[in-house]
Amino acid sequence: MMLSVNRVSGGYLTRKIIRDISFDLHTGEIIGLVGLNGAGKSTTLRHIVGTLKPMDGEVTINKQDWYSQRDKLALIPDKPHLYPNLTVYEHFEFIKRLYQINTDDYLNTLVDRYLIRTHINKYPYALSKGTQQKVSIISAMISSPTFLIIDEPFMGLDPRGLKYFTEDLIRLKKESVGIILSTHMLNIAESLCDRIIVLHEGHQKSYHDIPYLTADHLKDVTLEDIFFSIIEEKR
């Protein structure tokens, strides 16, 4: 199965932020999206999950319109969007009903893995930022998406959460989930991703396979070196 971003341009009202973005995401691969603050990473992801409609171009899943395929997508946003009037338990129940999930096995595994059990009856206001982020991660994972779209997930996580989340991304990739990961952590992007897109001022500046980045002629070059050479080109 393939998610295709075909020459997508878009932004907010009349303000165009991203221009002519194109790539294909296959199931079982992780694409990293990196760029400076304001480069347009979140805006790109919003076009993929359908929060924003492209001004030009289109997003398709298996060549079908995004709308008909939207249940195959899940988003982990950079800031968790939790409902203030629902407890953690009620959030998970809501997702279970929405996606008609009949078993708690996977949910229970994740709740223990991310140490959420003691918070299960709390409302979002009583949760730390990192715990809210974990609730958002679990909510996205239990919906068993074909494509998981992730916006800068690492910032609020403690070292243990970071380790388990990174391992979960590798597991999901093995289970044939296609993942887009927007992040500022270039070392994590380099180790986890199959391909990297560098976005700069709304333009897709580089789109490389990790095998290309680690090929002989670039063997002493890191993603960080490539990143800086791209973003400082014009200065």
Ligand X SMILES: Nc1ncnc2c1ncn2[C@@H]1O[C@H](COP(=O)(O)OP(=O)(O)OP(=O)(O)O)[C@@H](O)[C@H]1O
Binding site for ligand X (CB under 6 A): 12, 17, 35, 37-43
For ligand X, the closer CB: 19 or 119: 19
Tally the C-alpha atoms within 13 A of residue 10's C-alpha that lie toward its C-beta.
24
Question: What is the sign, positive or negative, of the torsion defined by CA atoms of 130, 74, 26, 20?
Answer: negative
Cross-strand bridge partners of residue 205: none
Q: Which is nearer to ligand X, 107 or 202 (CB)?
A: 202
Which phi and psi (to 5°) does residue 166 adopt?
A: -60, -45
Residue 96 beta carbon to ligand X: minimum distance, rounded to whole angstroms: 30
At its nearest, how many Å lie between ligand X and the CB of residue 208?
A: 19
Q: Measured between alpha carbons, how far is 119 from 100 in angstroms, rounded to an integer?
A: 24
Q: What angle do CA 195, 200, 201 make, to 5 degrees?
A: 150
What is the identity of the amino acid at 188? Answer: I
For residue 158, the 8-state DSSP code is -
Whichever of 116 and 197 has its CB closer to ligand X, that residue is 197
Residue with tokens 């993929």: 48
Which lies closer to ligand X via its Cβ, residue 39 or residue 198? 39
In the complex, what is the shortest distance from the CB of residue 8 to ligand X, in angstroms, rounded to a whole number?
13
Give the nearest distance from C-beta 21 to ligand X in angstroms.
Answer: 12
DSSP secondary-structure letter at 1? -
Give least dist CB 13 to ligand X, A.
Answer: 7
